[in-house]
Each structure stands twice: as C-alpha cells, then as structure tokens.
Structure 1
Amino acid sequence: MLVFSKAKLVLLSVPKTGTTAIEAALAPQAAIAVLEPPDLKHAPLYRYNRYFRPMVDKFVGDVDIAAVIREPVSWLGSWYRYRGRPFLDGSPQSTRGLSFEDFVNGYLAEPREVFANVGSQAKFVEPRPNGTAVTHFFRYEEMQTFLRFLEQRLGQTVELPRLNVSPPADLTLSLENEARLRATCAADFALWDSIAPE
C-alpha cells in the first residue's frame, strides 16, 4: 500500500495485480510505503479503514483510493502459477503437481483447500459501512490507463519494471468449472466487468 500525501491518493495493493512493480517504481515518492509484512502490504480496504484511515484522515485529509483489479480467471491463474514455484515445494500452499483445474476445484471447495485459499478481489475492496470505498478502479489488463492516471495525479513519468513474474503454466479450464466459478464468484466478475475498459 502506498500513500501520496501531496496527491491525496492511496494505492491499495491487491495481490497478483502488479503491485511489486508499482511499489518498486513509486515507493520512493510515497509519504507512506507499506511494503512488509504481506498482511500489511496487501491490506484490504477493511484493514486500511480500521488501522490506516484515521491517521491518513488526520494528517493528509480526504484522499482518493485506487485499486487495480484483474480478470478473475487470470487472477486465479496467477496465484496457481505463483504457488507452483520451488520455494513452496512441500508446503500445504504448493500447487506443484496440480493442474489449474485442480486448483480451481480447490478454490470452489467448501471449505477451500489450503493451496487455493487466496481470498477474493471483490472482498478485498468491499466498501465499509462508514462510507470508505475505492474511488478509482483500473483493469490490470489495461495497465496503460492506470499509468496515465498515476502520471497525471503524481506529475511524473511512471515506468514499471518487470518483477515477481511467475513461470508460465497450462491454465486450461473446463467450461463446466468456468461456469461454476462465474456463479460462485459472481461478485468478482461483476466488479471486473463494471470497470470501464480503455
């Protein structure tokens, strides 16, 4: 999560949406850069509202909140690929030896399988009862739109390095499972669909 006091802007770090690259490019210019631990770096809106908003309200004032959202199947595919990396071998979170179909089945299971317990983008940015809400959404797939927004808001050129890229993998998903995913995670698909494309 990054807070820009002069620009009155907060960037939430939705996992698997290029946040490592965004932070590498912009953290030096931020008034507050929360980079570790992961639970704070990737603070969802409810955690921002509870722990960070009171401080930001007092010392920065009213801010806009921005978040990048990834197409839900692609988002799960990124988690699947990330959790297949060697450093997770042998851990319950590892997807080594599993197909993407297996991963999605684990995500749809009740309760979710440990290797697929990765949350929800819609839940991450869910508005709070006190009115705290994301004011600017951008599609991960339309990153240039987000970068133009940042450049206008921050008054600087923004170039993202290529960081934390997971290795390629087969992301084949049956039509049946895609339909189950769309039904079960309707809020995530509705959120992504609601963001105006470039």
Structure 2
Amino acid sequence: MLIFSEQNLVLFSVPKTGSTAMEVALKPWADIAFYKHRKHTPVGRYQRKIAPFLREAYQLEPETMAVIRAPLEHLRSWYRYRAATLDVDFDGFVQAVISPKPPEWARIGNQFDFLTGPNEKLGITHLFAYETQPILRTWLNARMGSEISFKPQNISPPAPTPISKTTQTAFETHYASEITLHTQVIEASGHLISEW
C-alpha cells in the first residue's frame, strides 16, 4: 500500500495483480509506504484503522485505487507462484481453493473480499482492470504528472493450467461476486469509478 498526500490517493496492493511493479514505479511519489505483512492491507482494515488515522493526523480523505484481475487468471497466477511446491495440478488447486475448508496452500483469499468493506460495499474509488494496462497507465500519468512505466517483478515460471468444465462451473458459482465485479470494470472500459 502506498499513500500519496499531494495526489490525495491511496494505492491498494491486491496480490497477483502486478502490485509490486506498480509500487516500484510509484514509490518516488509516496509519502507513506506499507511493506511486508502490511503491504496487502485490504479495504476493510484500511477503513477501520488507516483512514481514521489519515483523517485525524493529516486531514487527508484520499481517493483510493486498485487493480482487479480476471478471477480465473488470478487463480492461475497464484498456482504458477506455488506450483513448484505443490503435488497437485491446476484443476486440483482450484477445487482446493473453493472447498469448504481449504488446505493452507490453497488459502489465497479473493479479490472481492479484499476490495470491499462492510456489507460487501466496494471501497475503491478507481478500480482498474489488469487486462487494460494502457488505461491504468494513462490515468496514473495524469494523476502523478509524469510518465509512469512498469517493469515486470516477481514473475513466476510457466506451468500448465488446464481446467475441467465441472471444476470451472463450480469455480464460477463460488466466485460469482468477484466475476461480476470484474465484468463491471471491463464494461466501464477498464476503469470503474465509485463513491464509497
């Protein structure tokens, strides 16, 4: 998570959405940076702990921004990241993730829960689709007043990720809210603007 006082903006680092590359590129403009265990602070915790602090200590009520990735591709990225230590194919990984009690290696959370606060309300002012990078970069260039470029970071080795129709159907049911949110961003030309 990065906080920019001049730009009145908070960048949320959603895991497996290119957040590390964004943070490296944008760090020169940030006044406050959260790393390690607090890097991936979700919206709910931000609203409870950090937003009140920013308001009381610095009189800041910043807009927020984040990136969401196509949900199945998001799981594929997680699988590639962990594949070397797993004795399961991608289909089995997805089944484990959506099971009632996922094993430790399949507890990856989900983007919808990360991006929403109480009552499942979106807590992001500017939500961008991972798949529309030019839209994101153009917006950041204007907001930062400078040309922003991302350099790939933390690239996982390739791994096969086939999925059966049965598992994909179960995944789509389990991830319905996240799929709907991602679709809304895509339908908003890759940049969904909301007031929370």
Q: Which runs of 5+ in 1 are unaligned?
A: 86-93
Give the conservation status (yes or no) of the 8 Å contact 1:127–1:134. no
Please list, as runs of the form range in 1=range in 2, the aligned pairs for 1:104-119 lying within 5 A after superposition. 104-119=94-109
Moved over 6 A (4+): none
Residue in 1 aligned with 2:194?
Answer: none
2:176 is aligned, of 183, 186, 195, to: 186
Aligned-pair CA distance for 1:98: 1.5
Aligned-pair CA distance for 1:128: 3.5
Residue in 2 aligned with 1:120?
Answer: 110
Aligned-pair CA distance for 1:176: 1.2
* CA distance in structure 1 between the aligned counterparts of 2:143 and 2:30, rounded to whole angstroms: 13
1:18 to 2:27 alignment: no
1:161 to 2:151 alignment: yes
Deviation string 1:67-95 (CA, Å, 9 cap, x unpaired) is 1000000000101111124xxxxxxxx32
Aligned-pair CA distance for 1:110: 1.1
Give the conservation status (yes or no) of the 8 Å contact 2:47–2:117. no
Q: Structure 1 173/197 Cα, relative in aligned 2: closer, same or farther at 3 Å?
A: farther
Aligned length: 186
TM-score under structure 2 length normalisation: 0.90
* CA distance in structure 1 between the aligned counterparts of 2:30 and 2:146, rounded to whole angstroms: 13
* CA distance in structure 1 between the aligned counterparts of 2:101 and 2:149, rounded to whole angstroms: 40
1:103 to 2:93 alignment: yes
Report the RMSD for the aligned CA atoms in angstroms. 1.5
* CA distance in structure 1 between the aligned counterparts of 2:136 and 2:19, rounded to whole angstroms: 12
Residue in 2 aligned with 1:30?
Answer: 30
Residue in 2 aligned with 1:143?
Answer: 133
Q: Give the percent of matched residue pairs that are identical in Structure 1 and Structure 2.
A: 35
Deviation string 1:35-78 (CA, Å, 9 cap, x unpaired) is 222xx100000111122111222315221111100000000010
Q: Which runs of 5+ in 2 are unaligned?
A: 191-196
Q: Structure 1 22/60 Cα, relative in aligned 2: closer, same or farther at 3 Å?
A: farther
TM-score under structure 1 length normalisation: 0.89
Residue in 1 aligned with 2:44?
Answer: 46
